[in-house]
Every structure is written in C-alpha cells, then in structure tokens.
C-alpha cells in the first residue's frame, strides 16, 4: 500500500547528480608587485548625509565584469548626543561597517551584524578617531556608516592558499573612504587617514630570482588582491596619516619572523603598507580638493560643463 | 603706530577655472601617474599653499593635514592648528589645515574656510528651530548646530502680558506653549561654555511658526544681513508671503498674517496693548485656511530659495524678488520642459535672469 497523501520518491532510489567540476585555473598576477591599482574616489554623493564618499577599484584586466571593491561611506554629524547619553567633553565617534547582502559573490550575507563586521567597525573607529579633533565638538556625536557594496572575490579564503587578504583590502578601502567623507563633512581633523595593505608572498616558480641565493625569500607585494593568485604568507594593513607620519592602525595576519637573521619581516610589511597608504593619500587629497574646486567654481559662477571628470590615479 | 585692518582677501581669484581645467588635462594625469609611484622614502609631496601662491600657478585650496605655512610670522585662525615640526636639527612650528577649504588672510591671521560646515551660533543671530525635547523648565531646540539649543521658560513671552513672572503653573503647562516638533523663530541670546546656544523669543517678531512651509538649505547659504524677515508680494493672486531666513539654514515661508486679523470686530488694537492682545493667539498650533493659490506661490518661493542657495547666490530681498519674478515668467512661458521645481536648468535660468549673469562663463548678459 502506497502512501497517497505524500509525494514519495521513486521506489528504486536515485543516484545523486554529479557535476563535472569546472576547471579552476589559478589566476596569474598581472601587475608588478610594487604597483597599485587605480582608485576611483568621489565625495558628496549621498545628499542627506553631512559628508559622503564612494570608492571603487577597477576589475582586473582579463575579467572586465568580475567583482571589485566598492565602498560607500556617509558621515552624519557632529550632532547632539541624545540626552540619555552620559556627558562627554569630546565628540563621540561611532563607526559602523556593514556588508551589503549581495556583496559577496557566492554566498548572501545576513542583515544582522556578524562578528566580522563588528570587528572591522571597531578597527575602523580606532583608525579614524585619532585623526579627528574630537575636543572641538563637546557633547556631540559623529556617526560614520560604511557599506561594502562589493568585495572582490569573497572573504572566505581556502586554507591551502595561505593568508586571506580580502578583509584587509576592505578595511583599507573603508578607512580611505571614511576619511574622505569626514573631510567632505567639514569636520575638523588633524590629518586625513589613508589605508594601505602589503603582503609577503611566496615567490612565483618562474621568477628571475630563482638562481640567486635568496631563492626561498618571500616577495613583498603592495596592495595585494585576492584575485591576484599569490600564495600569501603574511599580510599587514595600516591606517596612516601621511602628513603627520603617524600610524593609527596596524593589523597583521600570518606568521612573521626574521629573514636571514637580519631583516625583520614585520618591518618589511609595515613599510610596504605605509608606502601603499602614502600613495593612496594622493588620491584622497585630490578627491577632497576636487569637490572644493567644484564648489568654488560654482560660487564664482564659473562651472565648466565638462568639469565632471573623475579623479583616477594609477601607479 | 596706527593699526589698519585690511578687509579679508580671498586668495583664489581668477585661478579657479585654470586649475580645474588643468587637473583634467591629459598631461596633468600623466604627471599624476608619475607622482603616485611609490618612492621608497615614503615621502608625500605636499607643498604649502602659500609657497604655491608665490609660484602663482595655483589656488590656495588646502586639505586637512596639509601644511599651510611654516613661516612664524602668521597667526593661526579657524580651521588650522599648530604642529611642531622637527626636521633634522631645526625645530619650528607650522600651521596645518584641519578642514578642506580656501586659505583666507586678514592681516597676519591665517584661517581656512570650509566649503560647508555646520552652523555655529553667534549672539544676535535670528534662527528658525524645531523643538526636540520638552523638559521641566526649558525646551531643547534643534537649530542645525553641533549641539541642541536651549530655550528657557523664562525667556519666552508668557501669555497675559510681557512682564509677568513665570509661575509653577506655567511649568506644568509647558507643553501648551511649545511641544515636541513645533517650529519657532528665535534669537540667540547667549552662548554656553561649550558653544551651545540659549535662545529667546521675547519679542513679537519671534515665536511659534504656523501657516507655512519649512525649507532646509545649507547653513552657509544664508548669510547674516540687516533683515532676515522679508515680505514678498506674490503673483497669481497669492497675496503677501513672509519669508524668515534663519541664519542656521532653516527657512520658513508662510502666508502673511497681521496680528489684528484674528479680531472679529475689527477694532484697532492700541500699540500699548498689542502684546497682551497678541499673546492668546501666539501659541496657537492651528493653521488658518490658506488658499490653493497662496500655497502654490509659497512653494514657488521655497524653490527660489533653494535655487539661489544651489547656485551660491546671496539670498536677500532684492535677489529673492528678482528670482521669484523670473520663476513666475518661466512658468508662464509654455516651454516643453517647464519645470517648476527649479531643480535643474529652470532654476539656473531663473537665477541667471535675476543676476543678469551667465553662470557658466561668468559674463554679464546684456539686459
């Protein structure tokens, strides 16, 4: 007697489908290790916010439609703290980083803040708060909201591929973008903060350095992308105030030690990340300045119709 | 030695167009590509704005963290801070910008003016605000500043005569004067230590707002001027419209009502009893009937204020009247793209017509 109330499976049973796995070719790096990606950065794009910015990195050359890093930042404030809040003689900065549900390519992200977002938010807040003159705004709050619209290649790296740098790239981009938004909001800050990433990677097999004695020495790569296909041994991200030469944030991953008994890998990583951040700072300066020029040109009645170009820099 | 105070000088004269053009040039971006190359010293070329001025090629726009000058003869003003620089053996101070803006010099005082900033209250400013919170003896008022302003119960006109003492009954009835969400026009009476403002409405000019339309513009769009309360005679049977330009960027546009309008018997109110007569109606939250024609013209005036601020033209009685006239004409003309919101080209055309100026080229048009 068969059960008529339910839809039953075939009595013989089935074999589960087996799909031929797609041939995964490991991407090969197309940039020189010490060159950075171009950055698109524009401010004042979110009208209701006091200040805002948008940052985007280009897709890698062979895959024009692949996902890249896209980040928006909006700054609200300084605005009065709610009366329930305790007295604070400084401005209270809160930073909130959120991944959009569609930001990762294969897996949708939840709406509720998860541990990764909370961790990045705290790091971002630490990186920014040192640049803002919080003493100038007593009893007020500054809220920074970051939304990651797209993060290149996802965030869950395979363990055998080494250290995962996707999150670091997101954090560095978020720092740069948030700092541009803070400057756009007209909030007093001692300096702008830019983020930079550097990584030590396993030297590719076909490298010229094979025949030298440092054949197994790792190679320093600036602004590494998860899509580059390097096997990353260790990586660092910094928040750097180039005008004051101060590091506001440092986060390292992977194992770092002493190379050949003389060179400290941590120093190498930090220097690389600072170099990246310093170059990014040029883009940041130009983006902030571009908005000023647009405003000034308008106030002088001299808005040029072709003046809507973007600030893109490469190295 | 006699001291002469020179007028503030904007440093960016006539260089704007040149700079904005050059920064999009191809050779310029090529130069940027070269600059952005990572140099091993980690140095960042941030030449001081004043040095650039000496070269004469650029405007003095600075970004936060940029050194404005290391010349010790300058005093630092708003938007800057002093940093101690140690370059080798030399220890000196330099003035560094804290906001993105233009460098302004008054005698030996250097300050950086941001393009836009939040409103910072000053004593005597006329502001439009919204009640955020009611406390036992005061209101907290949002005036678009970094902190909420306070309005004390003792600094409003209590009904029944201006010189009445505030009593505990008034404290219990505090919501009958202003409650949450009410809009009011007030003057900044004093400032607290932390920069928060204390307001007062002890004049018939100030008080609760009704019969109108609230417009928020950038705080820098409304400049301090002689009069902030304007009356416009509108077209299309709209009647007279009051415009209150709050220095904080909040603007109130309402149907003009005179105080004696409420009186049914139409008898004249003597000037000495004006305060008492007015006080009963002054805290009313009920709007009068506003004819559709008036509403339409109120909305048009609001769009004119927005258009003026968007094109960075000073909002005053003369300009507002001129732009309003142009906007009325614009709507009369049967254009295919008639756009009464004045958001896009329509707003630009109206402002240009009012100014007699071409906003793109900066050249005066023949009238």
pLDDT at A175 over 70: yes
By CA distance, what is A305's nearest residue in B? Answer: B360
- Give CA separation, A297 vs A53, A113, B22, B308, in Å: 20, 42, 14, 15
Residues B19-26: what's their mean pLDDT?
38
Chain A environment of B29 (Cβ under 8 Å): 312-313
By CA distance, what is B37's nearest residue in A? Answer: A315
Instruction: Tell me how long chain A is.
Output: 315
pLDDT at A245 over 50: yes
Which of A50, A143, A188 is the best substitution to test chain B (most B C-beta atoms within 10 A)?
A: A188
Q: Which residue has the tokens 């005093």?
A: B75
Cβ distance of B79 and A282 shorter than 8 Å: no
Please indicate whether residue B348 or residue B30 has the higher confidence score (pLDDT).
B348
pLDDT attached to residue A134: 92
Cβ distance of B20 and A297 shorter than 8 Å: yes
Chain A environment of B19 (Cβ under 8 Å): 293
pLDDT band at A25; cut points 50, 70, 90: low
pLDDT attached to residue B114: 87
pLDDT at A17 over 90: no
pLDDT band at B336; cut points 50, 70, 90: low
Cβ atoms of residues B222 and B206 within 8 Å: no
pLDDT at A188 over 70: yes
pLDDT attached to residue A82: 84
- Percent helix, percent strand, percent coil in chain A, to nearest 5: 25, 25, 50
Which pLDDT tens digit goes with each residue over A272-284?
999 999 999 999 9
Residues A291-315: what's their mean pLDDT?
53
Cβ distance of A80 and B32 shorter than 8 Å: no
Cβ distance of A192 and B37 shorter than 8 Å: no
Residues A119-136: what's their mean pLDDT?
94
Report DSSP state, residue B167.
-
pLDDT attached to residue B269: 52
- Element (DSSP H or E) covering residue B188: strand B183-191
Q: Helix, strand or coil for residue B288?
A: coil
Question: How many Å lie between the alpha carbon of B29 and the closest alpha carbon of chain A?
Answer: 7
Q: Helix, strand or coil for residue B307?
A: helix
pLDDT band at B15; cut points 50, 70, 90: very low
Which pLDDT tens digit goes with each residue over B249-288?
999 999 987 654 444 444 555 555 555 555 667 788 888 8
Chain B environment of A276 (Cβ under 8 Å): 38
- Give CA separation, A60 vs A29, A31, A37, A177, in Å: 9, 9, 9, 21
pLDDT band at B35; cut points 50, 70, 90: very low
What mean pLDDT, rounded, does chain B reach?
Answer: 78
User: Beta strands B197-200 and B149-152: pairing type?
Assistant: parallel
What are B199's strand-pairing partners?
B151, B188
Please indicate whether residue A265 or residue B45 has the higher confidence score (pLDDT).
A265
Cβ distance of B20 and A299 shorter than 8 Å: no
pLDDT attached to residue A304: 38
Please indicate whether residue B171 or residue A205 has the higher confidence score (pLDDT).
B171
Give dist(CA A243, CA A191) in Å, integer: 6
Residues B337-346: what's their mean pLDDT?
74
pLDDT at B36 over 50: no
Give dist(CA A190, CA A136) in Å, integer: 11
Residues B184-194: what's their mean pLDDT?
93
Residues B185-209: what's their mean pLDDT?
91
What mean pLDDT, rounded, does chain A reach?
Answer: 84
Name, of A156-165, B28-37, B315-324, B335-344, the range with top average pLDDT. Answer: B315-324
Chain B environment of A274 (Cβ under 8 Å): 42
Please indicate whether residue B344 or residue B30 has the higher confidence score (pLDDT).
B344
Question: How many Å lie between the alpha carbon of B173 and the closest alpha carbon of chain A?
Answer: 22
Give dist(CA A249, CA A55) in Å, integer: 20
Residues B215-229: what's their mean pLDDT?
89
Please indicate whether residue B168 or residue B59 has the higher confidence score (pLDDT).
B168
Instruction: Tell me how long chain B is.
Output: 367
Cβ atoms of residues A178 and A128 within 8 Å: yes
pLDDT attached to residue B30: 38
Please indicate whether residue A154 or residue A115 has the higher confidence score (pLDDT).
A115
Phi/psi at A19 (nearest 5 deg)?
-95, 140
Cβ distance of B115 and A291 shorter than 8 Å: yes
Chain B environment of A186 (Cβ under 8 Å): 99-101, 114-118
pLDDT band at A297; cut points 50, 70, 90: low
Cβ distance of B36 and A190 shorter than 8 Å: no
Which of B18, B32, B45, B65 is the best substitution to test chain A (most A C-beta atoms within 10 A)?
A: B65
Cis peptide before B61 (omega within 30 of 0): no
Q: Which residue has the tokens 């603007």?
A: B251
Cβ distance of A279 and B38 shorter than 8 Å: yes
pLDDT at A173 over 70: yes
Please indicate whether residue B34 or residue A44 has the higher confidence score (pLDDT).
A44
Lowest mean per-residue pLDDT among A164-173, B10-19, B71-80, B207-216? B10-19
Cβ distance of A190 and B98 shorter than 8 Å: yes
Give dist(CA A242, CA A238) in Å, integer: 11
Chain A environment of B116 (Cβ under 8 Å): 186, 295
Cβ distance of B100 and A183 shorter than 8 Å: yes
pLDDT at A156 over 90: no
By CA distance, what is B79's nearest residue in A? Answer: A188
pLDDT attached to residue A200: 92
pLDDT attached to residue B325: 92
B333's CB contacts (< 8 A; 6+ apart) are: none
Residues B106-117: what's their mean pLDDT?
87
Please indicate whether residue B25 or residue A223 has the higher confidence score (pLDDT).
A223
- Percent helix, percent strand, percent coil in chain B, to nearest 5: 25, 25, 45
Which pLDDT tens digit goes with each residue over B39-66?
334 344 444 444 444 433 345 889 999 9
The pair of structure tokens assigned to B237 is 């049977």
Lowest mean per-residue pLDDT among A108-112, A233-237, B63-67, B78-82? A108-112
- Element (DSSP H or E) covering residue B189: strand B183-191
Please indicate whether residue A179 or residue B264 has the higher confidence score (pLDDT).
A179
Cβ atoms of residues B300 and B324 within 8 Å: yes
Chain B environment of A187 (Cβ under 8 Å): 99
Question: How many Å lie between the alpha carbon of B24 and the closest alpha carbon of chain A?
Answer: 7
């Amino acid at each position: 007697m068969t059960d008529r109330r339910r839809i039953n499976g075939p009595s013989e049973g089935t074999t589960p489908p087996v799909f031929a796995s797609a041939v995964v070719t490991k991407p090969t790096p197309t940039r020189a290790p010490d060159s950075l990606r171009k950055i698109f950065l524009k401010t004042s794009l979110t009208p209701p916010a006091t200040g805002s910015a948008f940052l985007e990195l280009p897709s890698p050359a062979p895959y024009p439609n692949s996902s890249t890093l896209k980040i928006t930042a909006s700054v609200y404030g300084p605005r009065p703290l709610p009366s329930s809040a305790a007295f604070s003689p400084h401005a209270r900065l809160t930073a909130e980083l959120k991944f959009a549900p569609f930001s990762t390519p294969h897996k949708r992200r939840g709406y509720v803040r998860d541990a990764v977002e909370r961790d990045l938010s705290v790091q971002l807040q630490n990186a920014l708060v040192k640049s803002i003159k919080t003493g100038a705004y007593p009893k007020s709050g500054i809220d920074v909201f970051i939304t990651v619209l797209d993060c290149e290649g996802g965030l869950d790296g395979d363990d055998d591929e080494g250290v995962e740098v996707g999150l670091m790239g997101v954090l560095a981009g978020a720092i740069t973008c948030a700092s541009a938004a803070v400057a756009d909001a007209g909030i007093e800050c001692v300096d702008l903060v830019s983020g930079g990433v550097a990584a030590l990677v396993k030297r590719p097999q076909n490298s010229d350095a094979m025949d030298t004695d440092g054949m197994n020495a790792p190679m320093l790569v600036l602004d590494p992308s998860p899509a580059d296909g390097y096997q990353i041994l260790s990586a660092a991200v910094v928040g750097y105030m180039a005008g004051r030469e101060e590091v506001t944030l440092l986060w390292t991953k992977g194992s770092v030690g002493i190379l050949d008994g003389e060179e400290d890998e941590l120093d190498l990583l930090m220097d690389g990340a600072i170099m990246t951040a310093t170059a990014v700072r040029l883009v940041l300066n130009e983006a902030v300045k571009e908005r000023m020029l647009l405003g000034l040109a308008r106030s002088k009645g001299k808005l040029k119709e072709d003046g809507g170009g973007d600030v893109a820099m490469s190295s | 030695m006699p001291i002469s105070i020179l007028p503030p000088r904007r440093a960016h004269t006539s260089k704007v167009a040149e700079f904005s053009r050059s920064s999009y040039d191809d050779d310029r971006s090529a130069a940027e590509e070269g600059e952005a190359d990572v140099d091993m010293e980690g140095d960042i070329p941030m030449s001081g704005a004043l040095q650039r001025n000496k070269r004469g090629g650029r405007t003095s726009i600075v970004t936060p963290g940029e050194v404005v000058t290391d010349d010790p003869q300058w005093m630092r003003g708003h938007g800057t801070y002093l940093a101690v620089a140690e370059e080798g053996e030399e220890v000196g101070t330099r003035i560094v910008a804290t906001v993105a803006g233009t460098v302004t010099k008054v005698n030996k005082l250097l300050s950086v003016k941001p393009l836009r900033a939040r409103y910072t209250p000053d004593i005597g400013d006329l502001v439009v605000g919204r009640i955020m919170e009611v406390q036992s003896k005061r209101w907290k008022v949002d005036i678009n500043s970094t902190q909420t302003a306070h309005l004390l119960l003792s600094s409003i006109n209590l009904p029944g005569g201006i010189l009445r003492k505030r009593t505990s009954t008034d404290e219990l009835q505090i919501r009958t004067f202003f409650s949450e969400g009410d809009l009011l026009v007030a003057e900044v009476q004093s400032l607290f230590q932390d920069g928060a403002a204390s307001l007062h409405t002890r004049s018939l000019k100030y008080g609760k707002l009704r019969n109108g339309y609230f417009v928020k513009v950038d705080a820098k769009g409304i400049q301090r001027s002689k009069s902030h309360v304007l009356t416009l005679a509108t077209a299309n049977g709209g009647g007279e419209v009051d415009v209150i330009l709050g220095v904080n960027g909040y603007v109130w546009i309402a149907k003009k009502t005179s105080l004696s309008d409420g009186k049914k018997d139409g008898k004249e109110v003597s000037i000495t009893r004006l305060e008492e007569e007015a006080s009963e109606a002054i805290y009313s939250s009920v709007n009068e009937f506003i004819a559709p024609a008036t509403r339409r013209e109120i909305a048009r005036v609001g769009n004119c204020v927005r258009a003026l601020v968007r094109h960075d033209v000073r909002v005053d009685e003369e300009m507002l009247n001129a732009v309003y006239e142009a906007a009325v004409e614009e709507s009369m003309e049967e254009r295919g793209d008639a756009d009464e919101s004045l958001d896009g080209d329509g707003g630009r055309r109206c402002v240009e017509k009012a100014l007699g100026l071409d906003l793109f080229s900066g050249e005066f048009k023949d009238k």
